[in-house]
Structure 1
């Protein structure tokens, strides 16, 4: 055995244990009995303590010192890069803090869900205050004198900084706001009408998941309060949600999560249970979910196919024809919920959260003032008042589970998706003909080969740059949105 093979054997066990911990989280969100919450918190804390100990095992630096990197191939060097990075970051965080974060956020998830159901932010505020205190402590340990928010952001988008995101988001906002004003000033399309049986929604969502290439023999579709995906390799699970009066919520949540799930399923099997056997970053992950959901799932060609399937499943939809259906799918409308927002306004929802969580971490904003700050910012950005907490500060699960620094990766993923879509259209000129037949293979195969198969082999920006031949930037996304909605609204 060589030092590299010894290290990778050890790492394989660590990755397997991490997958088990992830499965506990999936179970908690889908089928776990409510009364098990306290015990699950202890289980999650125990798993995190074990993983933390493995990631700072003193043998890791010894193995790394004995390895001749020059004799290794690119894949092996990428694995070492990720092992070294995880070891350095984990060693900065005390084991007791890591376990306490796992325990507190497991409990906080249930507290958030109950507060959300009751529209009672004050019931959640003390728990959120505790989570934030722990995340500030973790961020300070990771930052080692640097920017605390950047240290937390690095968990989800390695190499990104608030400074770089501010420049990108600053360039996005003016054109997004200008486009929204033009669109909302134009005649609005007809929305769907009627009641849509929720069991039929789930049946159709599973059919669509397969159309987009999701392998049901290595996955499953369940329901959750907040849709998510979980796992990698041979066990990748997704969730969605249903509402009787809004089938798009279910269907497009499914397509979105299929983008995440397909990414994990399509990673080279040789990378299974290795550090690079997962997505390169949350921004790259989000690029897959957003291009599946929007540039593919909401384009006119695919909507013509979906219109026929929905008519078969539900009968009359309240729109005249396939073009009317396409306009209904992409209708720009007022709304509170980020996950239900149209493409024009979605990123404005993200930027609100990005600014607020940075203020929370820096203590420029306290939890006691968060609901008012959210409501004021929402009214300033969108022009109308938040009606209840579940439509405002309590709508997202992220802060309850400690995902501070995660929100900006949603918009970064949209930017990446814009770049990938531009390259995909150039590479597959007959794409619309395939999509109109419900054949997604030319698009999903391109994304598999250009992005997904590599997993975490490359850095996030390298992953997108290698796929598109250019550095990622916001221009392609803005050009796509202005062209699409200019056509839809006759601007």
Structure 2
């Protein structure tokens, strides 16, 4: 009992650091004065390094060894020790000074990226990315790998996944998607999506209420790039970007982030004290955000419920019938911007980034050549000419934040979401009726019991197989997309 008391105390301390760092990061991305950026980056770097030292200290190594040989542990405690051991072995390979320099770098890099994107200035950001890629290559060597250096980076986002598995999954997905995309009708829906930011804000809050995102334990703010951040289990915040030229970005982006937040709000609180309080993986996390954004938010049942209120607060839509609105929301066509992409073409955006990341980490592509490589892949995969770096290689924040290995999680999230939704529909035959009535309690309860409450207690593969009885497969996603985009409604 004394041993596990010490074990829990260790994770309580880490949680305190995480809360402080998360709050500083949220402030930096939402309302911090611009001139404060360098000092804020130093502070985040310092606090992150202090937490990192506790994770790699000799005292924790001793505690880890004792816990590893202890008897009578619960299944959650054994899983906690297993996860901590793997993370310790990875972290201990990184010198503290290098870690602090890296964390400070990415904090500065994100601020530089915001300016570079705004000014469409690749040369402003490229020096930061070169340093980040160099660090990532070094970290991959520290962690070690069997076949591909990118495998070493995938662990932090998708434990157990490898380049070999991803290549197979993404090839199967691409082969199925391309024929579907080629069948798309050529006509477009000429709806004016412009809307004042204040109206968008009201609608976003209305939609969050419909899906029962708990704002007593969260909040919604505006930022350059939408994100969800967990301050603590009772403070899970989301942000969105209000684009007055296209309201869909905020409306469905907010639903996306609310899905992330709902996952975090429903993780069993006691897992925080065991270091198991996060999602099973970023892919599983993305499955929840994409479930709320697409499988709920873009569905007939949900939109029919919220459309009358939308027409009320935005009168121009009173002249647009529901079928036209629905078709416009779900229109599928190649596009430049990932976060604006439809369900059908979205995965191709991810595959492009995945292939570029692999090449950068393996040293087969230089940062200087990245914009050209990006533009070539968008032409090859989506048939599009990229007009600017702001709408091309600078559009995402992930590389600025050092998140190499993250992008595959978005496509995996779609795959997982389709598998989980098929099972949910089987378990809840009245699923459509629940959504149309705005009765999300049974849906959230199913998600909590089947997915959310487990946190990191299960690996992604274990969770998917436990819930669906099958290993990861692209087939449910292809069935869903085929029905939606080749059916009469689409």
Which residue number corresponds to residue 389 of structure 1? 389
* Secondary structure of 2:381 counterpart: helix
Alignment of 1:461-476 (within 5 A): 461-476=461-476
Which residue number corresponds to residue 37 of structure 1? 37
Which residue number corresponds to residue 62 of structure 2? 62
Contact 2:157 2:283 in 1 (8 A): yes
Query: C-alpha distance in 2, partners of 1:85/1:25?
Result: 26
Which residue number corresponds to residue 295 of structure 1? 295
Query: C-alpha distance in 1, partners of 2:345/2:87?
Result: 35
Contact 1:108 1:400 in 2 (8 A): yes
Residue by residue over 1:130-170, the C-alpha shift from the partner in whole angstroms, topping out at 9 and shown as x without a partner, is: 11111111121112676321111111111110111100001
Query: C-alpha distance in 2, partners of 1:89/1:421?
Result: 34
Shift of 1:190: 2.2
Which residue number corresponds to residue 166 of structure 2? 165
Query: C-alpha distance in 2, partners of 1:24/1:302?
Result: 36
Contact 2:145 2:151 in 1 (8 A): no
Residue by residue over 1:414-454, the C-alpha shift from the partner in whole angstroms, topping out at 9 and shown as x without a partner, is: 11001001101111111111212233333222112110011
Query: C-alpha distance in 1, partners of 2:75/2:312?
Result: 50
C-alpha spacing 1:438/1:321, structure 2 compared with 1 (3 Å): farther
C-alpha spacing 1:366/1:266, structure 2 compared with 1 (3 Å): same
Shift of 1:105: 0.5
Query: C-alpha distance in 1, partners of 2:147/2:183?
Result: 42
Query: C-alpha distance in 2, partners of 1:152/1:219?
Result: 31
Which residue number corresponds to residue 219 of structure 1? 218
Shift of 1:376: 0.9
Which runs of 5 or more residues in structure 2 are unaligned? none
* Secondary structure of 2:107 counterpart: helix
Shift of 1:118: 0.8
Contact 1:303 1:325 in 2 (8 A): no
Query: C-alpha distance in 1, partners of 2:389/2:377?
Result: 14
Contact 2:276 2:457 in 1 (8 A): yes
Which residue number corresponds to residue 402 of structure 1? 402
Please, which moves more after superposition, 365-374 or 193-202?
193-202
Query: C-alpha distance in 1, partners of 2:446/2:203?
Result: 25
Residue by residue over 1:226-268, the C-alpha shift from the partner in whole angstroms, topping out at 9 and shown as x without a partner, is: 1000014111110011111211111100000011001011011
* Secondary structure of 1:399 counterpart: coil
Runs ≥4 residues deviating over 6 A = none
Residue by residue over 1:351-396, the C-alpha shift from the partner in whole angstroms, topping out at 9 and shown as x without a partner, is: 0000001101111000111101101111111112001111100000
Query: C-alpha distance in 2, partners of 1:364/1:126?
Result: 18
Shift of 1:311: 0.5
Task: Report the RMSD for the aligned CA atoms in angstroms.
Answer: 1.6
Shift of 1:273: 4.3
Which residue number corresponds to residue 338 of structure 1? 338
Which residue number corresponds to residue 126 of structure 1? 127
Contact 1:205 1:251 in 2 (8 A): yes
Residue by residue over 1:18-70, the C-alpha shift from the partner in whole angstroms, topping out at 9 and shown as x without a partner, is: 22212221111111111011101111110121011100121223223333544
Residue by residue over 1:258-301, the C-alpha shift from the partner in whole angstroms, topping out at 9 and shown as x without a partner, is: 11001011011222343111111101100100111111111111
**With structure 2 as the length reference, what TM-score do the two structures score?**
0.96
Contact 1:296 1:302 in 2 (8 A): yes
Please, which moves more after superposition, 105-114 or 138-147?
138-147
Structure 1 position 19 matched with structure 2 position 19: yes
Which residue number corresponds to residue 204 of structure 1? 203
Query: C-alpha distance in 2, partners of 1:191/1:342?
Result: 16
Query: C-alpha distance in 1, partners of 2:487/2:296?
Result: 17
Structure 1 position 249 matched with structure 2 position 273: no
Shift of 1:10: 1.5
Query: C-alpha distance in 1, partners of 2:193/2:414?
Result: 31
Which runs of 5 or more residues in structure 1 are unaligned? none
* Secondary structure of 2:237 counterpart: strand
* Secondary structure of 1:236 counterpart: strand
Contact 1:194 1:317 in 2 (8 A): no
Which residue number corresponds to residue 275 of structure 2? 275
Alignment of 1:40-439 (within 5 A): 40-67=40-67, 68-143=69-144, 147-183=148-184, 186-193=185-192, 195-231=194-230, 232-317=232-317, 320-439=320-439
Shift of 1:210: 2.5
Aligned length: 488
**With structure 1 as the length reference, what TM-score do the two structures score?**
0.96
Query: C-alpha distance in 1, partners of 2:244/2:390?
Result: 19
